[in-house]
Structure 1
């Protein structure tokens, strides 16, 4: 282990996100639905996929994309060909049929009123289980009426990357999904509309840290109080997030 990694690990109490106790489930139903719905979508969908070789075929992975439509998670799953677990707001679990579908496919209910801690713990469970986690760093679907649609990223993506520094984070640019199925305007997908899913080269927290942070700075944090450490780490998280959002933009996110 390098000196930089040792210095980072010495700060573990300040950055480690503990996984929730919930078990990731839904494999059998997930496989069935992915095969049936996936085949249906692939037949009808005009989807161009770029860079899928950048998606690890197995192991813990974070798939991070821009967010313009309710269908974005489905398109990422279809294009990446990974079993991907998304955090979904609790409103999607109030309808019995929809809730059954969400749970059967391993999607995770998150109550926004309890704050971001629960969501991050649930997300950590996915990574701890060596699964693929799908997230939208913007934190919500962009409702801007004109381009650029990409919002500032929330730092949750950086906190997860920092807590699992070996896990690759893949930037994904989605184009055309807003016209494919625009919320509050289109009741059904418009399959004649072309969509594009582009996967960029993955980035790990270790790779970012080695380029952006000096060893002496990290080692010095071990002698500071908790508030000072938290302040410095918050700066790291913001810088990582901003850089990663530019990577998403670089993959064509409008």
Structure 2
């Protein structure tokens, strides 16, 4: 395991932590190395499973119904950000089957624009296979102020956040090749 960029996570105020998603273990991995609890938005179906329905709320996760506008999940996320919590999202909405970063959904742009939270891109790089290196990189905050001031669309904000995640992936794949 390698962890980089923890200093980019503010110690107070709301944080919107946005990561790529390559494996089921990404949520605990992305949140485990931070001093603050990360409250992940998780698909509602997980809250139906016998063990998970009791475990997920205790871990701070909250449900979202995918494929529709879930107003309750949006209110919960904004409330948590306003209360200076760390909210973790996987903007692609699902795991990548190819390992490549997919298109981000506009919900992440909505949270970024409607809150004053720091938006932190994060990249999970590598493989969960035995004897391979897995790295979590927390990038510097994405500057959302200009977009907030000019009331940009959630699509535009999402694009900027996805660029931040892709940049982390690109920089770290170059470094891996050089090493």
The TM-score range, normalised by the shorter chain, is 0.7 to 0.9
The aligned residue for residue 177 of structure 2 is: none
Q: CA deviation at 1:175?
A: 0.4
Inter-partner Cα distance in structure 1 for 2:121 and 2:139 = 5
Inter-partner Cα distance in structure 2 for 1:86 and 1:52 = 18
* Residues 151-197 of structure 1: per-residue CA shift (max 9 Å, x gap): 01111111111111x31100111102xx30xxxxxxxxx45331111
Which of the residues 33, 52, 69 maps onto 2:23?
69
Pick the structure with more helix per residue: 1
Matched, 1:163 2:114: yes
* Residues 106-129 of structure 1: per-residue CA shift (max 9 Å, x gap): 210223365333322221121122
Inter-partner Cα distance in structure 2 for 1:78 and 1:104 = 15
Report 1:1-254 matches (<5 A).
Answer: 47-112=1-66, 115-144=69-98, 149-164=100-115, 166-176=116-126, 179-180=127-128, 190-209=129-148, 213=150, 233=152, 236-252=153-169
Inter-partner Cα distance in structure 1 for 2:89 and 2:104 = 11
Inter-partner Cα distance in structure 2 for 1:88 and 1:69 = 14
Contact 1:62–1:170 (CA under 8 A) maintained in structure 2: yes
Contact 1:175–1:195 (CA under 8 A) maintained in structure 2: yes
Query: RMSD value over aligned CA atoms?
Result: 2.1
The aligned residue for residue 176 of structure 2 is: none
Q: CA deviation at 1:133?
A: 0.2
Pick the structure with more strand per residue: 2
Q: CA deviation at 1:207?
A: 4.4
Q: How many residues align?
A: 171
TM-score normalised by L of structure 1: 0.61
Gaps of at least 5 residues in structure 1 are 1-46, 181-189, 219-232
* Residues 16-56 of structure 1: per-residue CA shift (max 9 Å, x gap): xxxxxxxxxxxxxxxxxxxxxxxxxxxxxxx1111110001
Inter-partner Cα distance in structure 1 for 2:75 and 2:148 = 23
Inter-partner Cα distance in structure 2 for 1:126 and 1:209 = 19
